[in-house]
Amino acid sequence: MLHDHTTFVDYELPRLTPLAPNLVGASFFLMKLLPARFMLDQAERSGKLKPGGRICETTSGTFGLALAMLSAVRGYHLTLVSDNALDSTLQYRLCDLGAHLEIVERPGATGGFQQARLDRVNDYLAQYPDAFCPRQYENPDNPRAYASVAELITERLGNIDTLIGTVGSGGSMSGLARMLRLSNPDLKVIGIDTPASVVFGQKDGPRALRGLGNSLMPKNVDHCQFDEVHWVTAAEAYQATRELHRTHALFQGGTSGAAFMVARWWAAHKPEQKSVVIFPDEGNRYTSTIYNDTYLQAMEGWSDRLLEAPLTVTDPSCHIYRWSRHNWNRRSLGGEPHV
């Protein structure tokens, strides 16, 4: 099937929206379209992905949707492996786009559902040796894809002082930080995780907030890019998502709410710094959850009052039960300092 490599390019870059005199939101329609398209283009050029070929990947949401959209218009056969955390609305959409979707029912002995999903993907790859697996958590083309976003930010805003955003696969924040620091080595980078995610040293456990965090350590997370780390719970993120909608009319998902919560606090305490916060996807998937008052009021930890400031913790492995922050200081996960 012939296709134009520019398909969906107009949907890839974010809208830049002023949120405060010193804070700009970079709001994506679907941020994962950018790395998905970039990875598939690179795979085609190298011959790893043939026209009409097969793609296999594990997903918890938006990266799978991006692959499904691209596969539908480019004529690929797509197999996605996920778990029961994948909401039914997205499942229907993935299947309608032609993806074969498999839901893993049991977590792995280690690494939880993510390891179980990866094991099932490897089974498919053994069955289809010519299939291409993007492997978003470790593929270096994931962070490289964000060069165009860094260029947009610099062209429109000049050098910024702080970049704020959530961390899942590590691609967006690690890639943007590297690119933006080419022109401003003093850039501050604030990563946002959620409790019981291993990315910044927490012990793996159940997580209600999806779209950020991880049960396995993604190779694309460059810990030495981060100056500060925040952990935000699901209830806090959802409340902030609604606040973002009410105050700025930005209809985004829960990861955007987590980012907004931290960015608003940072901007208020650093009025001299120009900051950009990343909002990864729109809120269409969440009309029955985040945008449903009955659902929210039944949530564990729900409060009608949005926290004004985080707790400061000195040990990132400690038990975190509410919005908290830690001075990461551009070190590796093992503690080596930034050089």
Q: Write the DSSP symbol of residue 215.
A: S
Phi, psi of 230 (to 5 degrees): -120, 145
Domain coordinates of the chain in residue numbers?
A: 9-31+141-327, 33-127
pLDDT for res 85: 81
Q: 33-127: what CATH class?
A: alpha beta
- CA proximity to 263, closest of 73, 20, 101: 20
Domains 9-31+141-327 and 33-127 share a fold: yes
pLDDT for res 290: 96
H or E stretch at 142 = helix 141-144
Question: Which pair of tokens denotes residue 78?
Answer: 């797509």
pLDDT for res 115: 86
Please give the chain's pLDDT, 339 residues, in tens: 445 565 666 789 999 999 999 999 999 999 999 999 999 999 999 999 999 999 999 988 899 999 999 999 999 999 999 988 888 889 999 999 999 999 988 877 777 788 889 899 999 999 999 999 999 999 999 999 999 999 999 999 999 999 999 999 999 999 999 999 999 999 999 999 999 999 999 999 989 998 999 988 999 999 999 999 999 999 999 999 999 999 999 999 999 999 999 999 999 999 999 999 999 999 998 999 999 999 999 998 898 888 999 999 999 999 999 999 999 999 999 876 554
CATH label, 9-31+141-327, candidates 3.40.50.1100, 3.40.50.300, 3.30.930.10, 3.40.50.2300: 3.40.50.1100
pLDDT for res 339: 44
Strands 54-58 and 23-27: unpaired
Q: What is the pTM of this model?
A: 0.93
H or E stretch at 83 = strand 77-83
Residue 291 burial by Cβ neighbours in a 10 Å radius (0-12, 13-18, 19+): middle
pLDDT for res 8: 66
Q: What residue type is assigned to position 9 of the chain?
A: V
